[in-house]
Structures are given as structure tokens and as C-alpha cells.
Amino acid sequence: MATTPAPNDPDALHLPGIISTEQLYRSADYLVHAQEPCGAIPWFPGGHTDVWDHVECAMALTLTGLAIPEHAEAARRAYRWLDRARHPDGGWPAKFRQGEPVTELREANHAAYPAVGLFHHLLTTGDTAFAELMWPVVEEGMEFVLALRGDHGEILWARSEDGTPGDHALLTVCASVHHALRCATALGAHLGHDRPEWSAAAAHLAELINEHEDLFADRSRFSMDWFYPILGGAVREEAAKARIAERWDTFVVPGLGVRCVSDQPWVTAAESSELVMALAAMGEHESGLRILREVQHLRDPDDGVYWTGYQFSEQVRWPVERSTWTTAAVVLAVDALTRTTPGSRVFLHTWEQQPIVA
């Protein structure tokens, strides 16, 4: 495994014995083919779009776009669509079809995640002009999110169709928002838009996640509640290692990957890949390699696209779909393990250690 490749060397984006560079680029082609003319990237061709998963796909295309110009343009088109798709009262509708909203519900994690994606784009490409162009998308997303703060500073999960805030906060959502606030703060500082209140909000969320997990609705059966506090950068070092060890046997199925929920015989490539990114952030590279190797059974050999999941009791792929964000998560996990692009620092939480733009 390459541990210190040359920055932005697209030929280093591979894991010997697991996936080659050519295979990875072939997988990412699926995201381009699924993208709609407006720029939205749906769950699968003809399916619906949500902003969080759309951004995950845009990040994957940004890093493969270092080698493939078509992918780079598809990523920029995806981010430009976010600007056009904003809700007039802030945030983004939770679901779109053919680029048009089909609900007035707006979720906090959807509004926050463009900040992660656009900071990733800046780190990967060095394109400060594009980051400045897209800054209003980040700023509006953050303001929408912070308007959803609860009594203790937690972020309520959504704003309903009638405009009222949700009645509970979710751990995974708040971990993702924590990540986004830190990315948005760093992006703003680079552009000359200092937002110390965002940094303070992130620090407070990290405190709640580490010390007051009881504030969040109980979703402990979901593996994302297990590893996302680490992936989002709120839980680190020894606390992260203890958290992973505590429920490893609950969620990791040897030879198959990571369960989506603890009480179902169902592993998914996306949860597996996101755990890999959390492990990479912890320095647990061998464990990450093993998980990513084992989940390759969900790769379609015909075109390199990943199936969403596998129901191992019935021994069938389920659901019978190939979600774009699943393939995107695999691409991002490979980058996190190989540290091929500067964008990997978004998930390794190491951007403070080097200049944002070399």
C-alpha cells in the first residue's frame, strides 16, 4: 500500500490485491452516467436525489477528475446544481426527482454536507475561484443548520414541511454537522470569510457527542451511530479506539463487511467503506484494508459498480439496486487509505498540518 504518494498522483489511487486504478475509474464512470442534465446525481439512474448522497458522489468524481476531465466537469456541475436547488427559506428539500423538489421537508445533514464537499474540492483541486463562487452555498447551509439548534446546542434533525423544527436530534446527523462546521470554518478562513461562531458550535457539538450521548435519540442499532462520531472527527485517539472495539463484533461480519443495523443479517458496501474511512483516520490501516477487501463481493464484475448490500441469511443482494453513493463511498475509502489526494485530509482530519492549497 502506498503510504506517502506524490500529492494528486492519480496513478496511486489503487490498493494492490483489492482494486486497481483502472477498476476504480471504471466504477466512478457510473456516477457520470447516472448524472442528470441539471447536474443532480440520483441514487441510481431515474431514481430520486438527496443532497447528502449527491455530495458524496461529487467528492468521488472530484478525485477521479484529477485524471479524467469528464469526471472533473461532472463534479463541478453537481456543485453548481446545489446553488440552483436551494430552498428559498434555506437548506434543501430532502428529496428531488429529475432535479425538482418533491417535499418541503429539509434535513440538517443535507444542508451541512455541501461544506464538506466543497472543502474537499478545494483541497483536491486547489481551485480557490470555484470555492469563492460556491461560498454562498456553504454559508446558507451553515446558517440553516445553526438555526436548528436545540436547548443544549444539539442540532435538531430537520425542519418540517410547515417550517417547524424537529423534536429530536440524531447522533449521526450531529457528527456529520460537526464535520461540516469544521470544514466550513477552514474553507471560510482560506477565502477570508472568518466565522469563529461556526468553530465554537463545532467544539460544543464535539463536547455533547463525547460527554452527553444521552441527548440524542436512540439509534444504537444502526452502525452509523457507532462509527460516525469518529468519521466526523468528534471522537478521536483513545476514545475512538475504545468506541470501535466496543461494538466491533456487533457490526462487523467476517468475510462480508459491516452490518447496516445490528439486528438484521444485512451488510452494505457504503457502511463498510465509511467505517474504513473512520479506521483510516484512527491510523488503523490494516483493519481498514481487510474490511475493504472483504466487501469487494458487492462489486459487479461486469462494469465495476457496487451493489448496495447483501442479505447473508438469504444469500441474496438486497436491495436489488446499485446506489451511486455506494460506489462513491468505496472510491473515497480507497483515497483515505492511500492518501493519494490532498482531499483525503477531509476524512483523515489532518488539513491543519499542511497548507490548504499548495
* Domains of the chain by start residue, with CATH: 10-353 (1.50.10.10)
Single-letter amino acid, residue 316: V
Assess contact for 310 and 297: CB atoms under 8 A.
Answer: yes
The residue ranges of the chain whose pLDDT is under 70 are 1-8, 10, 358
Question: How far does Cα 51 stand from its chain's mean position?
Answer: 11
Determine the length of the chain: 358
Q: What is the CA radius of gyration of the chain?
A: 19
Sign of the torsion formed by the C-alpha atoms of 275, 201, 355 and 71: positive
CB half-sphere exposure, 333, CA atoms < 13 A: 31
- The rounded distance, in Å, linking the Cα atoms of 8 and 20 is 16
**What local confidence, expressed as pLDDT, does residue 354 receive?**
86
Packing angle of the helix pair 196-211, 128-146 (nearest 10 deg): 60
**What local confidence, expressed as pLDDT, does residue 8 receive?**
65
Beta strand segments in 55-110, E: 96-97, 100-101, 106-107
From the list 168, 176, 154, 165, the residue with the least C-alpha distance to 51 is: 176
**What local confidence, expressed as pLDDT, does residue 310 receive?**
98
pTM for the model stands at 0.96
> What is Dmax (Cα atoms) for the chain?
55
From the list 246, 245, 253, the residue with the least C-alpha distance to 271 is: 253
- The rounded distance, in Å, linking the Cα atoms of 232 and 181 is 10
**What local confidence, expressed as pLDDT, does residue 355 receive?**
86
CB half-sphere exposure, 69, CA atoms < 13 A: 0
Single-letter amino acid, residue 74: A
- The rounded distance, in Å, linking the Cα atoms of 319 and 341 is 32
- The rounded distance, in Å, linking the Cα atoms of 170 and 18 is 34
SS3 332: helix
From the list 333, 281, 326, 356, the residue with the least C-alpha distance to 119 is: 356
From the list 32, 31, 38, the residue with the least C-alpha distance to 98 is: 38
